[in-house]
Amino acid sequence: IDHWKGSTHALKGVGCVECHQAAHEDVDAFDHYGATIATIVTPKDCGRCHKTETAEFLASHHAKAGNILASLDNFLAETVEGSRVPFNPHSKTPGMDVDMVNGMASVNVGCKQCHGSKVALEGTDGSLITVDQLKPDKDGIPTSLEALALVKKDSNGRPVLHDSSWPNTGIGRLNLDGSRGSCSACHSRHDFSPRRARQPENCGKCHLGPDHPQKEIYEESKHGVAFRDLKEHMNLDAHDWVLGQDYTQAPTCATCHMSGHSRNGGRVTHDPGERISWTNRPPVSIVMDTDINGVVIKETDPVERQKLTVSSWQDKRQTMKDVCLHCHTQNYVNAFYKQYDDFIVNYNEKFAKPGTKIMTALKENELITKTEFDEEIEWTWFYLWHHEGRRARHGASMMAPDYAHWHGMYEVAERFYQELIPQAREIAHHAEEDGKADQAKAVLTLIDDILARPEHEWFESAKKLADAGQASLTPEGAASAVQVNAAAKADGDAKPDDSADNTTTTPDKPADSSADKEEKPE
């Protein structure tokens, strides 16, 4: 209540009931001192007053964040870190009675708190009742009488929310009324402070850590340094907060990705994807051409791709450039994007695509199982693209050199050369010993073809010379090895590598969709 008293809602006469009001037919409705209300406020509720903002949000990737519930990341939390079924404890816990261990604890407390839970009610038969069972209509009213009849209520007549799904303010939460998301993920209840929503710490609840350290990257960048120094001069409490009018000192996450500015008439967007030209989430980065549903297009045929594209990556980039141009010249902005594109293409072509090919070959030749994370190389590959690869790409996207290099590409390269390649070769050699000569040869040939390419020549050539006692794997030795190999080629002693994949991904030529097999639907 005290938080609400200081809010714009309170000043405008918007009270508790205006947000929490529910229809009698709502599955989670209950009587509260004569008013019919529900505990959870969904985007469908917020949309009664904030129609434009809600529509933009529901079209965004934020609203789809709950799709992680079927992803590789979620498999880690549900199965590898925990268990999808309760299990017996190893021994007694002093001072507490633990009959069974809830193996879903990690995903409930971790993944779902950012990505969103599937809100569930307790059933009288012990079942969980979610949007799947309720089948709500367009107004959010459940249509399944059978599911409604099973809803458990407490002594006050309130439907009982299952503690695995609530409390939760994950931004892609799957609500009982069929809507997706939680506005309070960014607009914290109950003061809904614009000042807080505009600051990087707000985004940092989810956008931080080893696999997506945007908050740490921002803090390292010139933008973040300027914000910390000039924060008190940025008019964060302004009603509209328009870049170029209300402030010019520094950008925050909101400035670049969502807030209005003087070049677009102060138009705010609640779809941060409107200004992003690359998606760096999958193993191989893809340009952000999106279809009518806002889904990233993975079609590689240029003609078909153009037919599907409703919003191109070029349009999105220009929308972001319009923000940049408040402080920087056109040449400066264009040069930054050239550096960024070159960085992403280098990551894609030198490490991500070859790594994807190796992992695909191992699975297709049945040298590793289809189960994820049951072999060491799957952890290696996951670290390479999901942690180090993302850190590198995000570091480049927001001008954080340490994350781009030392926390990024350096670790990508080390993981590729010192772990992924040796582990893949070892698996193939073991397969040979087990009588799978053809399958092993297919993988080893692929690895040899990859390492025969010029960008990997330093590694393979230097290693061969080192094995022969002619050079060491120092920078000087590696350079010498490349020079020796180049001289041999000039003398006609080396054959060109016709079998290697010499394609290059640029923003004008989208990444091969096969490289994105780990990525789940957006």
Block means of pLDDT (10 residues each) for the chain, length 522 residues? 95 96 97 97 97 96 88 92 96 96 96 96 98 97 98 97 97 98 97 96 97 98 98 96 97 98 97 97 98 94 97 98 98 99 99 99 98 97 99 98 99 99 98 98 98 93 66 55 54 44 41 40 38
Q: What is the number of helices (H) and of strands (E) in the chain?
A: 27, 6
Closest of 47, 56, 45 to residue 17, by C-alpha: 45
Distance separating alpha carbons of residues 310 and 299, to the nearest angstrom? 14
Distance separating alpha carbons of residues 402 and 383, to the nearest angstrom? 18
> pTM value?
0.88
Residue 263 near residue 319 (C-beta atoms within 8 A): no
- Say if residue 180 is in the same domain as residue 280: no
- Say if residue 480 is in the same domain as residue 439: yes
Closest of 362, 499, 379, 495 to residue 436, by C-alpha: 362
Give the range of the structural domain holding residue 52, as residue numbers without chain letter.
2-89+98-185
Among candidate residues 331, 361, 380, the one where a domain is terminated: 331
Q: Is residue 240 part of a domain?
A: yes
Antiparallel, parallel or unpaired: β 128-129 and 286-287:
unpaired
The pLDDT value given to residue 289: 98
Stated length of the chain = 522
Antiparallel, parallel or unpaired: β 35-37 and 30-32:
antiparallel
- Say if residue 381 is in the same domain as residue 455: yes
Closest of 386, 387, 374, 462 to residue 417, by C-alpha: 462
Residue 186 near residue 128 (C-beta atoms within 8 A): no
Q: How close are the terminal C-alpha atoms of the chain, in Å?
A: 37
Mention every residue, 6+ apart, whose C-beta is less than 8 A from residue 157.
30, 31
What distances in angstroms separate CA 186 from CA 107, 225, 281, 423, one per listed residue? Answer: 21, 23, 21, 43
Mention every residue, 6+ apart, whose C-beta is less than 8 A from residue 487.
none
> Residue 113 CB: number of other CB atoms within 10 A?
19
- Say if residue 304 is in the same domain as residue 389: no
Mention every residue, 6+ apart, whose C-beta is less than 8 A from residue 303.
none
Q: Which residue has the tokens 């009488």?
A: 145
The pair of structure tokens assigned to 195 is 């000042």
Q: Is residue 453 part of a domain?
A: yes
The pLDDT value given to residue 68: 83
- Say if residue 165 is in the same domain as residue 58: yes
Rounded to 5 degrees, φ, ψ at 257 are -100, -20
Distance separating alpha carbons of residues 210 and 75, to the nearest angstrom? 18
The pair of structure tokens assigned to 205 is 């609840």
- Say if residue 308 is in the same domain as residue 411: no
Residue 386 carries which DSSP code?
I
Q: Is residue 239 part of a domain?
A: yes
Q: Is residue 519 part of a domain?
A: no
- Say if residue 163 is in the same domain as residue 198: no
Q: Which residues pair with 93 in a beta bridge?
A: 96
The pLDDT value given to residue 477: 56
Q: Is residue 338 part of a domain?
A: no
Among candidate residues 157, 185, 213, the one where a domain is terminated: 185
How far is it between the farthest Cα atoms of the chain?
92
Q: Is residue 430 part of a domain?
A: yes
- Say if residue 57 is in the same domain as residue 142: yes
Q: Is residue 520 part of a domain?
A: no
Mention every residue, 6+ apart, whose C-beta is less than 8 A from residue 444.
425, 428
Q: Where are the beta strands (DSSP E) in 100-225?
A: 121-122, 128-129
Residue 438 near residue 353 (C-beta atoms within 8 A): no
Distance separating alpha carbons of residues 440 and 436, to the nearest angstrom? 6
| Total domains, the chain | 3
Mention every residue, 6+ apart, whose C-beta is less than 8 A from residue 304.
none
- Say if residue 153 is in the same domain as residue 198: no
The pair of structure tokens assigned to 20 is 């929490």
- Say if residue 149 is in the same domain as residue 205: no
Closest of 353, 385, 365 to residue 450, by C-alpha: 353
* 48-57 LR contacts (CB < 8 Å, sep 24+): 49/14, 50/183, 53/268, 53/270, 54/183, 54/270, 56/269, 56/270, 56/271, 57/181, 57/183, 57/270, 57/271
Q: Is residue 11 part of a domain?
A: yes
Three-state SS for 392? helix
Among candidate residues 136, 155, 185, the one where a domain is terminated: 185
Task: Provide the residue type at 433 as one letter.
Answer: E
The pLDDT value given to residue 475: 58
Task: Provide the residue type at 418 as one letter.
Answer: Q
Three-state SS for 32? strand
- Say if residue 361 is in the same domain as residue 300: no
Residue 124 near residue 152 (C-beta atoms within 8 A): yes
- Say if residue 23 is in the same domain as residue 79: yes
Residue 177 near residue 135 (C-beta atoms within 8 A): no
